[in-house]
Amino acid sequence: MTDISIVIPLFNEDESLPELHAWIQRVCNENKLSYEVLLLDDGSTDHSWSVIESLAQQDTSVRGIRMRKNYGKSAALNVGFKEAVGEVVITMDADLQDSPDEIPELRRMIQEEGFDVVSGWKKKRYDPLSKTIPTKLFNWATRKMSDLELHDFNCGLKAYRNEVVKNIEVYGEMHRYIPVIAKWNGFPKIGEKAVEHRARKFGSTKFGMDRFINGFLDLMSLYFMSKFGKRPMHFFGLYGVLSFVIGFAMAAWILIDKLVHVWQNTSARLVTDNPLFYIGLIAMVIGTQLFLAGFLGELVSRSNPERDQYNIRQRTDS
């Protein structure tokens, strides 16, 4: 079996690819590692694919996969994970900001220390403040929500046991949450390694500020799906019943107060003049809608053919 698969998603990186390939080749040969390099061209508009074809002809360990359009980094990684055959799968960016010199140690941590995932940590970054400050906030929020103590979730340089990448799905902007996805899919041994971060040598970054907004929304989606994806009624039903009960209690209070005034033959304002009436009515309507959302979610979940599929770690067969 191949020692390592190096999965590299890329978009318009024709200038950096030859140097990156030569660097990877040198490191793997020096450490006597059998390897494959998967270059995922995510709809590049420059000469990236021509460069990949040339590299594949020079080195049989290079495999190129060309996407029909720009689907995003997560989609490219997902395709690469399905194709990877190495015992250890390593991901890195194509812009030369990740150092292939880290490959042997990342592989050692997986093979010898038993980690399922090892995430890189760009301890010293060469990015502008407009990128580093939002990244710090993003990492803090992810740590709090996932209970996973990593410094840098978004580092492209990571190592995985092959079993991990075959049992997770990456889509949207989920690539930055792969350690979280792995943990919630039953791979709890997640490590971290401080890695070298280099200044960009060619071109410019392909990501804008919108990635932080999209990333936060994906984190919320991931959290919900991991906790309630197979039991949506436990979320919507709980808050729906709570909202309905609060609204009903308000309505009951107003009704009882009105009846007391009628029984005592004293004047009382109209029910419709009481703000609590409308608050209670809205609370009951929202509660009913949430409950119905949970009910519909359960119907959809039960029709999902993957509902009863679970990852099995190991078994003993007689």
Helix (DSSP H) and strand (DSSP E) numbers for the chain? 10, 7
Q: Give the percent of the chain with pLDDT over 70.
A: 81
The per-residue pLDDT of the chain, averaged, comes to 82
pLDDT band with cut points at 50, 70 and 90 for residue 126: low
Lowest average pLDDT, out of 16-20, 73-77, 313-317, goes to 313-317
Give the residue with greater pLDDT, 295 vs 47.
Answer: 47
Chain length of the chain: 318
Tokens of 72: 């995003």
The per-residue pLDDT for 318 is 46
Asked if residue 277 lies in contact with residue 234, where contact means CB atoms within 8 angstroms, the answer is no
What gap in Å lies between CA 84 and CA 278, rounded to an integer?
A: 59
Give the residue with greater pLDDT, 271 vs 90.
Answer: 90
What gap in Å lies between CA 302 and CA 308, rounded to an integer?
A: 9
pTM: 0.71
Among residues 112, 113, 111, 132, which one has the least CA distance to residue 123?
132
Give the residue with greater pLDDT, 304 vs 143.
Answer: 143
What gap in Å lies between CA 52 and CA 189, rounded to an integer?
A: 35
Give the residue with greater pLDDT, 200 vs 44.
Answer: 44
Burial class (CB in 10 A: 0-12, 13-18, 19+), 91: buried
Digit-coded pLDDT (tens) for 48-59: 999 999 999 999
Lowest average pLDDT, out of 10-19, 84-93, 94-103, 218-227, goes to 218-227
Whether 274 has a pLDDT exceeding 60, the answer reads yes
Whether 313 has a pLDDT exceeding 80, the answer reads no
The per-residue pLDDT for 101 is 93
The per-residue pLDDT for 29 is 92
Tokens of 215: 């990333």
Please compute the mean of the pLDDT values over residues 23-47 and round it to a whole number.
93
Asked if residue 8 lies in contact with residue 35, where contact means CB atoms within 8 angstroms, the answer is no
pLDDT band with cut points at 50, 70 and 90 for residue 234: confident
In the chain the first and final C-alpha atoms are separated, in Å, by 27
Please compute the mean of the pLDDT values over residues 159-163 and round it to a whole number.
94
Give the residue with greater pLDDT, 221 vs 18.
Answer: 18
The per-residue pLDDT for 123 is 75
CA separation (Å) from 216 to 23, 129, 235? 34, 19, 20
Whether 211 has a pLDDT exceeding 70, the answer reads no
Please compute the mean of the pLDDT values over residues 192-211 and round it to a whole number.
68
What gap in Å lies between CA 148 and CA 163, rounded to an integer?
A: 20
pLDDT band with cut points at 50, 70 and 90 for residue 271: confident
